């Protein structure tokens, strides 16, 4: 069964550094999402992406964040200048119908 994949599984970075989180959605899916989950808390919506543009974004998704689909398979989330509070698990999801399939996540730790 096809699955969403994400790389890296873990990322440690210094505050102020840029990070790029990568996702490979399920191949025939058209809608993609990023969510984050701070340790011990709920999953929070960041952004949705369709047809090579952002469909919706939450108030968390400020100017430090960007998404793109640089080729036909990868879907990336970039954080330009990381802050301590960006430490979280970041999940990518792709959609078939109404069902969202989550990737395994990238655990980001900002020191």
Chain contacts with other proteins (rule: CB under 8 A): 31, 33, 35, 41-45, 48, 50-51, 55-56, 58, 91, 95, 98-105
3/94 Cα distance (integer angstroms): 9
Find the shortest distance in angstroms from Cβ 87 to other proteins.
15
Find the shortest distance in angstroms from Cβ 106 to other proteins.
11
Dihedral of CA atoms 51, 57, 60, 65 in degrees, nearest 10, equals: 30
Find the shortest distance in angstroms from Cβ 16 to other proteins.
28
The 3-state DSSP composition of the chain as helix, strand, coil percent (nearest 5) reads 5, 55, 45
For other proteins, the closer CB: 10 or 80? 10
For other proteins, the closer CB: 17 or 101? 101
Place of tokens 């430490």: 87
For other proteins, the closer CB: 20 or 95? 95
Place of tokens 């808390």: 41
């Amino acid at each position: 069964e096809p699955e969403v994949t994400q790389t890296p599984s873990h990322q440690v970075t210094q505050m102020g550094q840029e990070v790029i989180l990568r996702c490979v959605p399920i191949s025939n899916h058209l809608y993609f999402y990023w969510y984050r989950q701070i340790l011990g808390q709920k999953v929070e919506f960041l952004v949705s992406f369709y047809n090579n543009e952002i469909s919706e974004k939450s108030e968390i998704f400020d100017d430090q964040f960007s998404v793109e689909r640089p080729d036909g398979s990868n879907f990336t989330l970039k954080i330009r200048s990381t802050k301590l509070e960006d430490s979280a698990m970041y999940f990518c999801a792709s959609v078939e119908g109404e069902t969202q399939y989550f990737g395994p996540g990238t655990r980001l730790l900002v020191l």
